[in-house]
Structure 1
Amino acid sequence: MSLNSILTRQKSAIIKKWFTLVIETYPSDTGNFLKTQKDPFANPVGRSISQGLEGVFDELLGDMDYKTIATFLDPIIRIRAVQSFSPARAIGFIFFLKNAIRENLHNKITQEQIADELLVFETKIDQLSLIAFNLYMQCREKIYELKANEMRNSTFKAFERAGLVSEAPDVEPALEPINITKEASNNY
């Protein structure tokens, strides 16, 4: 039996374990809430993580299309970027998938002789981490850009309230066409 077939059959258990490992990166109170609250309106973060992990796993089993994977990873990475996770903590959850797979397949790896296939699959997980890192950096850049704009705007408004800034008049300069050849000949 191929690794993909085994992973497909074990999908539910693997994703559940992966989700648990991701949730453990949060403080215990938050983790308990994310894990136990099933209402998507009360727990949109838990729902986003769960759906994202499942979508990523399906893509890893399939063609691994960059845009599709980015679509599933983006909400998870965005959440972790806003929560000021370090880059390592923000994308480290990707590697937890290796643990979840090995834990669920530990007997089958040696019995089925699928170790080589597992190495190839784990390489895909490594590639996934690079995609996640790119998304994380894009999110952090956007956050810094928003903070800089907010600071600039608040500083400008403070200067404006203090009377240190005035708007430029809306007077357009009078531009009259000049005949270059006529003026040039008069100067010689």
Structure 2
Amino acid sequence: MKLEEILEQKKKVIVDKWFDIVVDTYPSDTSRFLKSQKNPFSNPVGNTTQKSLAVLMDELLGKMDLDTINSFLDPIIRIRAIQDFTPSRAVSFLFSLKEIIRDQLKDKDINDTILTALTQFDRKIDLIAMAGFDIYMKCREKIYDIKANEEKNRTFKAFKRAGLIKEIPDNNTESRLV
């Protein structure tokens, strides 16, 4: 039996364990809520995470379409970037899939063909983890840009209220500090 066939048979168990690992990275109250609340309207984070992990597993077992991977990985990582997870903690759940898969293979007779396939599967997981890190960094950069612009606008408005800014007429009608 091929590795992909074994994993396809155990896909639901793998995705459920993977989901548990993802939500266990949150505080215990949040984790309990994400696991117990099945209503997608009451628990959009849990619902999105569960669905996204299932699609990611399908892609790992299938053709590895990068657009699909990025579109389903993005919401999970975006939430984690907003919640101030460190980069390593934000993407660590992706690497945990390797351990889950090995745990599911414990009772199987592992031959060289499956070991080779497992190494290739690990590389696919690594590719998804790198994509996750890229998404995380883009989100964090955007957050820092928003914070910097907000601070700049706040400072500009304070200077304007204090009368420290005056319009200088020229071809470029921007306000300048005087």
TM-score w.r.t. structure 1 length?
0.86
Letter matched to residue 61 of structure 2: L
Task: Provide the residue aligned with 2:82 in structure 1.
Answer: 82
After superposition, the C-alpha distances for 1:132-175 in whole angstroms (9 at most, x for unaligned) are 11111111100100111111111111111111113334x669xx
1:109/1:127 CA distance change after superposition, 3 Å? farther
- 1:33-182 matches, cutoff 5 A: 33-110=33-110, 114-169=114-169
Q: Give the Cα–Cα distance (whole angstroms) in 2 for the partners of residues 131 and 111 of structure 1.
A: 30
Structure number with bigger Rg: 1
Seen in structure 2, the aligned counterparts of structure 1 residues 164 and 31 have a Cα distance that, compared at 3 Å, is: same
Higher alpha-carbon deviation: 154-163 or 10-19? 154-163
Aligned letter for 1:61?
A: L
- Runs of at least 4 residues off by over 4 Å: none
Partner AA of 1:110 in structure 2:
I
* Corresponding residue for residue 176 of structure 1: none
SS in 1 for 2:108: helix
What do the CA deviations read for 1:84-131 (whole angstroms, capped 9, x no partner)? 100100000101111211122211152796222111111111111111
Report if the CA contact (8 A) 1:109-1:115 is conserved. Answer: no
**One-letter amino acid of the structure 2 residue matched with residue 143 of structure 1:** I
Deviations 1:37-74 (A, max 9, x none): 11111111111211111111111111111111100100
Mapped partners of 1:138, 1:119: distance in 2: 29
Q: 3-state DSSP class of the match of 2:106? A: helix
Aligned partners of 1:26, 1:2: CA distance in 2, in Å? Answer: 35
TM-score (norm 2): 0.90
* Distance in 1, Cα, partners of 2:79 & 2:7: 27
Indicate the percent of aligned positions where both proteins have the same amino acid: 53
Partner of 1:178: none
User: Structure 2: how far apart are the matches of 1:111 and 1:95?
Assistant: 23
Once the two structures are TM-superposed, the CA of residue 31 in structure 1 deviates from its matched residue by: 0.5
SS at structure 2 position matched to 1:166: strand
Structure 2 CA distance for aligned equivalents of residues 162 and 107 of structure 1: 73
Structure 1 residues 112 and 153 mapped into 2: Cα distance closer, same or farther (>3 Å)? same
Task: Check conservation: 1:34, 1:43, Cα contact below 8 A.
Answer: yes
CA change 1:140–1:172 in 2 (3 A) is closer
